[in-house]
Amino acid sequence: MTRADREAERYSSAQANTLSDRGKQYLAAVRGIDSRLLRQFITVVECKSFTVAAHVLNVTQPALTKSIQKLEQRLEVKLLERGHNSVEPTRYGQVLASRAKLVELEIAHAVSEIQALKGGHQGSVNVGIAFALVNHLPKAILAMQQKRPNVAVRVSVDVMDPLLAGLLAGDLDVVCTPMEFPTYPDIETEPVMDCEHVLVAGSAHPLADSIVIEPPQLLAYPWVTFARGHMGTSKIGSVFAANHLPPPSAAITVSSLEIMFSVLKQSNHYVAAVPATLVANALAAGLVVLPFNAPFWRVRLYIAYRASTHPTQAVISMIECLRATFNLQPDGR
């Protein structure tokens, strides 16, 4: 045994003597979990199958099963439930899976930063943005490029649901989007602005010359909505439900603002609800704003980022540039 080993053993013994029984169990569990066990566990959760996961990991299924059992023994909980056709995490397994993925993400960030430094770069940052803020984002990106010219900025434009999923999964570092969902303890949010939604259509739409449009009139026309835009669909339905009407027909769903505007312009029959921040874009595309009797709905937009991990300098700078774009203080005011 080397001197370093003897010192480590004495340190561990001294630590153990000062801990309660529960503390000793906690320390033993933490020390008994290594990255290999976590990777195997995550793979089973992602594949929903021991057989498929064993193939992906290039290990035998008995060896993989033994690893999961070892992990469960060290944590003293059941992590996975075998069903008829798949394997699902228990509530304990869900907690471990979400945290373990963040551990992998931190390691990936560290490797990325090291490789970037070796290549003369300073990493990258992945930003998710709601359609409502597409006109605001360029200012933040240009400011980021001036502040950190060697940082690569990757942008995704989408609706709330996939942006939130990307943030929780670690695929996105920071998002700007409506935040109508239960509080997530791992996510910090800073309010940006309130945004109204309006109705737009082709310039020759039958309702374009109306003085004021009432909800029943809108039921006669099909709608274009954003794909996976569950919040928007819910908001549209709420407007009609408040007037004791069924929801309108969502005939076309798109993932592109340009396609939405093109369909509206070419058909002169469809209707869509878009953020008021995009009115100038709609008018430039040859559309008109329909004279509804009030803003169709309002939402509050936020900057959101993970709080449970230590952000890279690139992510910190991107958040600062977004705050500056919206004239926000660090506390979101």
Least confident of 141-145, 311-315, 321-325: 311-315
The mean per-residue pLDDT over the stretch 215-242 comes to 89
User: DSSP letters along 151-189, please?
Assistant: SEEEEEEE-HHHHHHHHHHTS-SEEEEE--S---TTEEE
Give the pLDDT score at 331: 56
In sign, the C-alpha dihedral spanning 234, 235, 239, 240 is negative
How many angstroms separate the CA atoms of 279 and 274, rounded?
8
Q: Which domains does the chain have, with CATH numbers?
A: 32-101 (1.10.10.10), 122-193+301-325 (3.40.190.10), 194-299 (3.40.190.290)
Percent of the chain clearing pLDDT 70 (strictly above): 81
Model confidence at 200: pLDDT above 80: yes
How many angstroms separate the CA atoms of 33 and 71, rounded?
7
The mean per-residue pLDDT over the stretch 294-316 comes to 82
Which runs of consecutive H residues, i.e. helices, occur in 119-256? 137-147, 160-169, 215-218, 230-242
> For 103-161, how does the pLDDT look when each residue is reduced to its tens digit (9 = 90+)?
776 666 666 666 656 554 567 899 999 999 999 999 999 999 998 888 889 999 999 98
The mean per-residue pLDDT over the stretch 226-254 comes to 88
pTM above 0.75, yes or no: no
Mean pLDDT comparison of 10-14, 108-112, 319-323, highest-scoring range: 319-323
Give the pLDDT score at 293: 75
Residues in the chain: 333
**Could you identify the residue written with the tokens 């029984």?**
21
- Residue 119, Cα to own-chain centre: how many angstroms? 29
Helices 35-47 and 91-118 meet at what angle, rounded to 10? 120
DSSP letter at 249?
A: P
Residue 267 phi/psi, 5-degree rounding, is -95, -40
Model confidence at 30: pLDDT above 80: no
Give the pLDDT score at 38: 84
Model confidence at 267: pLDDT above 50: yes
> For 38-75, how does the pLDDT look when each residue is reduced to its tens digit (9 = 90+)?
888 888 888 889 889 888 888 898 898 998 898 888 88
Give the pLDDT score at 310: 67
Beta strands in the chain (DSSP E): 80-82, 87-89, 124-130, 152-158, 174-178, 187-202, 223-226, 250-254, 272-275, 287-289, 297-306
Mean pLDDT comparison of 102-111, 128-137, 226-235, 242-251, highest-scoring range: 128-137
Model confidence at 12: pLDDT above 70: no
Question: Quick one: pLDDT band at residue 14, thresholds 50, 70, 90?
Answer: low
Helices 21-31 and 3-18 meet at what angle, rounded to 10? 140
Question: Quick one: pLDDT band at residue 327, thresholds 50, 70, 90?
Answer: confident
